[in-house]
Each structure stands twice: as C-alpha cells, then as structure tokens.
Amino acid sequence: MSSYAISHERAHAFYDHFERKGELPHQTHYCPGCGHGIVHKLLASAIDGLGVRDRTVLVSPVGCSVFAYYYFDTGNVQAAHGRAPAVATGIKRSRPDSIVVAYQGDGDLAAIGTAEIIHAANRGESMTVIFVNNGIYGMTGGQMAPTTPLGKQSTTSPGGREKWNDGYPVHVCELLNALDAPVYLERVSLGDNKQIMQAAKAIRRALEYQVKGLGFSLVEVLSPCPTIWKLTPVEAQKFVRDEMGALFVPGCVRDRGKEAEARPARAAAPALADVPRLIGLTSGEEAVPAAERDLDLRIKIAGFGGQGVLMLGEVLAEAGLEAGYEVSWLPSYGPEMRSGTSNCHVRIGRHPVDSPLVSRPNVLLALNEPSLRKFLPAVEPGGVAIYNGREVPEGCERDDVRLAAIPVTAIADGIGAGKVANIVMLGALLELCEVVDEERVRGALRRLIHNDRYYELDLAALERGREEGRKLAAEAYGWGV
Amino acid sequence: MGKELTKGNEAIVKAAVLAGCRAFYGYPITPASEIAEAAAKYLPAAGGTFVQAESEVAAINMLYGGAAAGVRAMTASSGPGISLMQEGISYIAGAELPCVIADIMRGGPGLGNIAPEQGDYNQVVKGGGHGNYRTLVVAPYSVQEMADLTTLAFDLADRYRNPVMVLADGFIGQMMEPVEFAPRAVLPEAPGWSVRGTAETRANLVSSIHLEPDMLERHVRKLEAKYREAERNEVRWENWRTEDAEIVLVGYGIMGRVLKSVVEMARAAGIRAGLLRPITLYPFPAAQVRELARRARAFAVVELSTGQLVDDVRLALEGRAPVEFFSRVGGNVPSAEEVLEFLERTFSARHAREEVLAHV
Amino acid sequence: MDRGMVVTNQEECKGCGLCVEACPPRVLRLSAGLNRYGYHPAEYSGSGCTGCGICYYACPEPGGITVERLVKVA
C-alpha cells in the first residue's frame, strides 16, 4: 500500500495567520515574486530544522522587511534603520542562550548601518545576519542603493548610477572578509532552482554555527525586486542570476566553521550578597568618629599637571572623611591630565558642604609660581598660603595672609623622588594650620597608595614636610597650632 | 555600610549595579568617560555585560536591545554623544523600553569644550528626538544624589517603561564626596513583556511601529497619559530656606550647590532669599514654583546656559511673579559672590524702580 | 500513482508564476480564473508531480505550496 505524506509545508516558525498584519492575514505584504518571501521561508525552515523556534529572536530592520515580525512565530524586536546589528548585540549579550537573527536589506546594512555591521562582525558577535541585496530601495520607492549596479537607473540616479557622483556598488561579503572575527560569509542568489537550494543550505549553516556557539555569520542573498525593477517575477529572477550575479559573484567567501572556537560562556553570575564587595564597596560598619574641631577649610590646590595636585586634594579629603568631617573634592579636569595647569578644590568642615567650588580659599597650596600669582589675591584674609619655592616671589605679598615659602620639590628630590613634593607640602600644612590629625593622613595614604615603595616615600615626605613646617612655625612666623 | 569617598561618575555605576543593572553599552567622552571605565570594571564583576560600542548611535541601539531582552541596562555620555543618541532614545520611548541614560554635560554647541555647562537642558528635558515623547529626568546635585537618583532612575524606568535620564554636569560627575550606597544589591525579575529567546516570551514583540493612524494615535495618547501620571506622582524638589523667602532662587545640579551658599550670603546681606532646587526636571516642579509665588516678590533663575531652565520657571509662573535671570556659560561656573552681586544689583535696582513707580 | 503531489493555496497565491517556471516536470500552471484578491493563482495540472519540492522553495508565500510524497505504508 502506498499513500501521500506531506514533505514540504508551511514552516512552524511561521504563524498560521498573520494577525499582526491586520487585513489580508493569509498572505504576506510582499509584492508578487519578491525575494523576501523566499528568504523568509528558507530562514523559517532552518529554524524548524534546528529546533530553535523558542530560542530565536528575530531583529527586523527598516525597509520592505520591516514587518518580518508579522510572520515569524519567534521572539521579535524591531530596530531602527541600520541598527539591527547593534540591537542584536544588546539582545545576544544579555541573553547568550538566545538565537539572534538580524535580517537586513541593502540600504539598511550597506549604507546607513555600515558602522554597525562592520563592528558587530569585528567583535565576532555570535549572531546570524541575513543580508537581502536587491540593489535598490524598495520600500521608499526605488531610490539608489549602495549596491545598485553602475549605470542602473533609479529615482535618485535618473541618468543611471554614475561612479563620479555615486561611487561604486558595495561588496559587503568582501568588505567583511577583511576582518579577523567573522566565522562564515557567503553570498547566495535566488536566480534559479539550484541557487535557491544553495541559499537554503547557507542560511541553515549560518544559523547552525550560532547554535554551536560560534561567532558571526552573514549570508548575503541576491534577491529580486520585480516591482521596482519593472520586470515580471520570472524576468526579475533571471536578472538576479545574470546581471546581479555577474556583479556580485555568488560563492562562499569564508567558512571557518570547523576551526572556529566557540565564544566562551559567561562566568556564572555571583551571589547577590557578594555584589557590593565585588564592586569595591566595603561592608564595614566602622563607626565614623564625630568631627573633633569646628573646621571650615576651603582649600585650593594648584600647580602644573603631574605635580600631584589632584592626589594631594584626594588625600586631604579622604583624611577629612575618616576624621568625621564633611568633605568634597572638585578637580579641574581634562587635557590638564597631560600637561598645563591643574587645580582642585577641597572642602573639609563640620557642616554639610554647600558649594564644592572654592572661590575664596582659606588655604592655598600653590605648587608653582603662576598658581600663586593667580589665586593668592582670592585668599580670604587670615588664610594660609604655602608656596613651592625658597622665597615668596616679588609682587606676591599679602599682609593679611600667612604666606610660607617651602621648596617642596627640592626637598622631595632630596628624599629621592620629586613626585612626592605634594606630600611634603601636605606635611608642612599639618604644622602651619589646623587640619586633621597626622594619623588620619597616614590612614588616607595607606588606602590610596597601593604601591608599598611609594607609600614609604610618602611617609618620609610627610615627615620632612612637617619638619619644615615646624621650623617655619617656630622661627619665622610664630603661628603654629 | 559606611561612607566611601567616591567620584560622581563612579557613584552612578556602583548604584546602578546595586540596582540590578547588568548591561552597559557606551562610548567614551569627556567628562563622562569614568562612567564607562567603571562599568567596564564592575559590570562583568557582577555577572553583567559591558561593551564599548563603535559610536553613541550603536551604544543607544545596544541599549535598546538589552532593554528589550528584559535586562536593566544603561549608557552614559555628554552633550555631543547625547545628540547622536537622540534617534535611539525616540525609538526606546516609542517601544516603551525602560533604561537609564546619564548625560554629564559639557560646554557646547559643537565641540564646545569639556568644562561644565547646562546647555543640554532642552535636548534632554524637552525630548530632543522625533515624535511625541518625554524622558523622565533627574538632576543630581551631589555625589550622594548621583547614587540615589540613579537607583530611582531604574525604578522609574521600570514603573513607566520609559527612558530615564540622569542629567548632571561635568563638576558633579568629576567631584568626589562621601557616599552611602544602598546596603544590599537587588536584581529585579525580567519583565513579562521582554523578548528573551524563551518559550514563554516567544509571542512578545518590541516595536515602535503603529502603521494605522488610529493605532498610532492610541499609542501616543497612552504615552501621554503615562507622562501625566508621572507629573502627578514623580515630581521631586528641594525647598531650602523658602519659608520666608522674598526672593526665590532656582537652580539645579552644581548651581544648586552654589545657590545654597548664595542664600546664606544674601541673608547675611539683608536679602531674604531661598532656593527651590528641582530634583526632577521632567516632571518639572511647576506647582511648587507657583506655590512659592504666593509669598515671594520675585524669582531669580541661575543656570549654566543662556536660558533653558528659566523657560520652565516662567511657564510655571504664568506671569505671577517677575523672573530675573543670571547665567554663565562656556564652562564658567559663577562663584557665590558673583551671584550675590547680581542679586544685590538686580533687586536694589528693582526696588528703586518700584519705589519710583509707587510714587507716580 | 505519481511519486508526488502538489497542493497550491488558492487564497494565499499572488500568481507570480515562479513555481510554474521552477517546476522541473512542468506540471504547474497559472489558473485562468481569479482568486478573491484578483490574482491568477497557480494550480497543479493533476498529474506528473515528482515530489521534488522545488516549487515549495521557489514560492515566496509561506503557505503557498504544500508538497506531498508517495510513501509505502504497511
């Protein structure tokens, strides 16, 4: 006995009825003879064949296939024009077990989305890109595509695509073949039966590689657009095979499916309870001491980039915080990191800090002469200014400010590291003005300086600074604490 | 947990991870780069994803994908990058995806400079992309608020299924202050509507297309209703010494800090000043501005732009009180003394003018 | 009995004719009549199908063509 059994039928990866489409839910919105329908079927068959319908997320583009989500009974995300590879990256990286397919046309992928496709490919994103190349903008009504052949008329190349004005057709597979990461790149065509069967194989392979956890695959499909080309479906098919095929030669450009290594699985997520520690938050409940003194320090530190201006501020703020004060640290930022002037504002006080900007400092630490000249006039009467030099430069006198000159760079050089000049100045400050206890400063240095050698140098610098400060306080100025 | 001396930009990332953010897609730009740098360090440590995108355009679309997949996700940039992201933000709002976007403002227009400015107010608070949508906007004025408002931003994003922006300036991003972070980390469940590549989410669709005019109108009205709800429930602000204020200063971000100093100095100089500091810029504390107009003689808006926040204050007041305006731009932040001088100049002049008028 | 059998979906078909062109034994044709959308839908001539399935792939509509093959049953 013999009877008939179904061998080819509507793929399960398609909905039975296209409810999202609204009217005419029995058929697609594509024109008669459009290649998108065929590519959809090949993709749906591959999804069925690999048994990954539940895991599949289809990213539909802008273009004629913008409504691919009408048809595919898979997870669906619709993307902005050209951005499908970026959107697909976002999905795949967050859901590594999903099977992500970015479906794109030529305008979408090879013009507006060129950056996105190149970089998704270059990162080796484990995704499958179906690139439908029909050499024209279909949805918007027949404008020139990046893949339109030279000489071919379109509404925006009415005299035919012309190389001097429009450039040349973009060969996407060959372009991506210049990158290291892609696993599989193949150009196929819908030009005849044999080509369609080859396209089916390629699409299945591209999807299979993703299921295996391999990296980036792209299948470029030369596809007919009978409506815009003004050809019958059968003529359009022949045009694809003969004309498009001559320009974009079908074939496998790269297949590293055998040797490619699978993208390593992401490490298991840590226990939630461990997260604070893993992001550098200490869970210590150490009681913060009450602020001992009624301080209101408004400190400005200035010098040139590389003098440790910002670090000096950070040590002060950290020490202040540990001593129970309210603190803020505000840097000048940007190219000063490399050169030029640098300054920062530090506030340490008993009361919450209102403005972190220090416009009227009561402490000025000037690590070079321009900084002293610039900021000394703003120092509040009764304030303290320490200058990095043997004597206060001419024209920098202030009767109402306690101004000290200490050659901290020279002293630091004496210790063996000019870089710790900032800490010499900090040591001097501790003697010349009521700040925080040295113990707090040492604690702050310990936390901030991870290199033991530098930490030891900093301690030596702090001590030398204190000596200088004490000398000044006792001998010349008589205003020690 | 104790307080940790933390940079504003880093506080955003730590708070985000504690709030369950597990995806960060970004592109470096001064003065926001430390956010991407911290994210590169902490997101993977917490089992999440960090990708440095090829552009802000790609970053915002990766965010779209991550949010569509039901993960708490964020990005960060500064003005020029936010401009590039506007297309994606419109799609995210249209598709009703929750996510958080931090804008650490710098000087503009064009390349401008990298110093702090508040010139992105309009592009962030009023939309910036195409179509009828709003982003909810929180505006931290301290490093503590960088953390707290980032946490809030994730909650608001989920509650309203809408992008929430953290709008700060270069100073708030770059400064360090002690921060007390949330005592424990949370990881909310993925929302039911998300597309996760699973059997139970197979029927889900994330899209911003509504082809039929009636359908799109319904959708836009739905978004609108959501924004009205946010206007009713999510306005946040700080009133500082406004109980008896004759002059109400209005400013946000770093200016909120400076204006607190100004209030003290003004009061010492005999001007009864107070401060209204919007914490949410959208929804804007319009009713709170009007409420203060019942007592105040005048308002003075101080911002680091040539007049963007001031428009919202004027709209809120609907002519109930005069609004004076002072600004510095280009990366200059006025000192408290400078603002005080403006107040003294303006209000003594106004006083004199009113005296004259009173005698006419 | 023929080795295969092809069933075209008259409602879904848009009459593009690609299946007619693709069919190796040339047993498909466009109907003279119109379906309710106004297309001349493809139809099977009634004999000669080999069950190769080429028409299924050539057809751009998801459910436009179903192909059956003769199988032995106990």
Q: Report pLDDT digits (tens) over A354-404.
A: 889 999 999 999 999 999 999 999 999 999 999 999 999 999 989 999 999
DSSP string, A354-410: S----SS-SEEEESSHHHHHHHGGGSPTT-EEEEESSSPPTT---TTSEEEEE-HHH
Q: Is residue A289 part of a domain?
A: no
Whether residue B277 contacts residue B304, with contact meaning beta carbons closer than 8 Å, is answered with no
Q: Give, in words, the CATH class of B4-233.
A: alpha beta
pLDDT of res. A378: 96
Whether residue B70 contacts residue B21, with contact meaning beta carbons closer than 8 Å, is answered with no
Looking at per-residue pLDDT, the higher value among A287 and A109 belongs to: A109
Separation between Cα atoms, residue C41 and residue C10, nearest integer Å: 6
Q: Is residue A9 part of a domain?
A: no
pLDDT of res. A306: 86
Residue A114, token pair as written in the block: 């060129």
Q: Which residues of B touch A57 (CB under 8 A)?
A: 69, 195-197
| Burial category of B83 from C-beta neighbours within 10 Å (exposed 0-12, middle 13-18, buried 19 and up) | middle
Half-sphere exposure of A196 (CA within 13 A, CB side): 27
- Label residue A332 by pLDDT band (50, 70, 90): confident
The 10s digit of each residue's pLDDT in A124-145 is 999 999 999 999 999 999 999 9
Kindly state whether residues A88 and A170 are assigned to the same domain: yes
Q: Measure in Å the smallest separation between the Cα of C73 and chain A Cα atoms.
A: 5
What proportion of chain A, given as a percentage, has pLDDT over 70?
96
Go through A402-416 and write b for each residue having 16 or more CB atoms within 10 A of its CB, e for each that does not: bbbbbbbbebbeebe
Please indicate whether, in this complex, the C-beta atoms of A59 and B65 are within 8 angstroms of each other.
Answer: yes
Radius of gyration of chain B (CA): 21
Kindly state whether residues A136 and A202 are assigned to the same domain: yes
- Label residue A480 by pLDDT band (50, 70, 90): very low
pLDDT of res. A336: 45
Q: Which residues of C touch A240 (CB under 8 A)?
A: none
Kindly state whether residues A243 and A329 are assigned to the same domain: no
Q: Is A285 on the interface with B (CB under 8 A)?
A: yes
pLDDT of res. B231: 98
What proportion of chain A, given as a percentage, has pLDDT over 90?
87
Q: Is residue A6 part of a domain?
A: no
| CATH of residue A79 | 3.40.50.970
Q: Measure in Å the smallest separation between the Cα of A202 and chain C Cα atoms.
A: 14
Give the pairing of strands B136-138 and B163-169: parallel
| CATH of residue A426 | 3.40.920.10
Residue carrying the six token digits 């998108």: A36
- Measured between CA atoms, the residue of chain C closest to residue A189 is C58
Q: Is residue A93 part of a domain?
A: yes
- Label residue A283 by pLDDT band (50, 70, 90): low
Whether residue A55 contacts residue B198, with contact meaning beta carbons closer than 8 Å, is answered with yes
Q: Is residue A48 part of a domain?
A: yes
Whether residue A65 contacts residue A139, with contact meaning beta carbons closer than 8 Å, is answered with no
Please indicate whether, in this complex, the C-beta atoms of A8 and C67 are within 8 angstroms of each other.
Answer: yes
Which stretches does DSSP call E strand in B152-240?
163-169, 176-179, 205-206, 237-240
Q: Which residues of A touch B47 (CB under 8 A)?
A: 266-270
- Measured between CA atoms, the residue of chain A closest to residue B331 is A332
Looking at per-residue pLDDT, the higher value among A478 and B65 belongs to: B65
Kindly state whether residues A32 and A170 are assigned to the same domain: yes
Instruction: Note the helical H segments in A212-272.
Output: 226-229, 233-239, 245-247
- How many inter-chain contacts (A to C, CB under 8 Å) are there? 114
Question: Closest Cα partner for B274 from B286, B287, B288, B284?
Answer: B288
pLDDT of res. B274: 98
Q: Is B257 on the interface with A (CB under 8 A)?
A: yes
Separation between Cα atoms, residue C29 and residue C20, nearest integer Å: 5
Q: Is residue A279 part of a domain?
A: no
Separation between Cα atoms, residue A209 and residue A42, nearest integer Å: 16
Specify the DSSP class assigned to residue B77.
E
Average pLDDT, whole number, for chain A?
A: 94
- In the predicted model, residues of chain C with pLDDT beneath 70 are none
**DSSP β-bridge partners for residue A154:** A157
Q: Is A269 on the interface with B (CB under 8 A)?
A: yes
Question: Closest Cα partner for A360 from A350, A373, A347?
Answer: A347
Q: Is residue A271 part of a domain?
A: no
The 10s digit of each residue's pLDDT in B188-205 is 999 999 999 999 999 999
Q: Is residue A266 part of a domain?
A: no
B43's enclosing H/E stretch is helix B33-45
B283 contacts: CB under 8 Å, gap ≥ 6: B136, B227, B230, B231, B234, B235
Kindly state whether residues A249 and A303 are assigned to the same domain: no
Q: Set out the domains of chain C in order of their start, with CATH numbers.
A: 4-69 (3.30.70.3270)
Can you give the residue ranges of every domain in chain B? Answer: 4-233, 238-359
Note down the domain range covering A307. Answer: 296-477
Asked whether residue A58 carries a pLDDT value surpassing 70, the answer given is yes
- Give, to the nearest 10 degrees, the angle between helix B213-233 and helix B79-94: 120
Which stretches does DSSP call E strand in A256-379?
296-304, 326-331, 341-349, 363-366
pLDDT of res. A265: 85
The 10s digit of each residue's pLDDT in A66-87 is 999 999 999 999 999 999 999 9
> Which of A226, A255, A284 marks a domain boundary?
A255
pLDDT of res. B212: 94
- Measured between CA atoms, the residue of chain B closest to residue A286 is B2
Interface of B with A in 213-252 (CB under 8 A): none
Residue B173, token pair as written in the block: 């991003």
Question: Closest Cα partner for B197 from A60, A55, A91, A53?
Answer: A55
What fold characterizes domain B238-359? Answer: Rossmann fold (3.40.50)
- Measured between CA atoms, the residue of chain A closest to residue C59 is A38
Looking at per-residue pLDDT, the higher value among A263 and B80 belongs to: B80
- Give me the residue from A26, A38, A233 closest to C12, CB to CB: A26
Kindly state whether residues A88 and A212 are assigned to the same domain: yes
| Burial category of A475 from C-beta neighbours within 10 Å (exposed 0-12, middle 13-18, buried 19 and up) | exposed
- In chain A, the number of structural domains is 2
Question: Closest Cα partner for B219 from B234, B204, B232, B208?
Answer: B208
Please indicate whether, in this complex, the C-beta atoms of B61 and A115 are within 8 angstroms of each other.
Answer: no
Kindly state whether residues A49 and A185 are assigned to the same domain: yes
pLDDT of chain B along its 360 residues, tens only?
A: 689 999 999 999 999 999 999 999 999 999 999 999 999 999 999 999 999 999 999 999 999 999 999 999 999 999 999 999 999 999 999 999 999 999 999 999 999 999 999 999 999 999 889 999 999 999 999 999 999 999 999 999 999 999 999 999 999 999 999 999 999 999 999 999 999 999 999 999 999 999 999 999 999 999 999 999 999 999 999 999 999 999 999 999 999 999 999 999 999 999 999 999 999 999 999 999 999 999 999 999 999 999 999 999 999 999 999 999 999 999 999 999 999 999 999 998 666 666 555 554
Residue B327, token pair as written in the block: 């600004």
Q: Measure in Å the smallest separation between the Cα of A97 and chain B Cα atoms.
A: 7
Q: How many CB atoms are located within 10 Å of the residue B104 CB?
A: 33
pLDDT of res. A286: 64
Residue A122, token pair as written in the block: 């270059």
- How many inter-chain contacts (A to B, CB under 8 Å) are there? 252
Kindly state whether residues A349 and A214 are assigned to the same domain: no
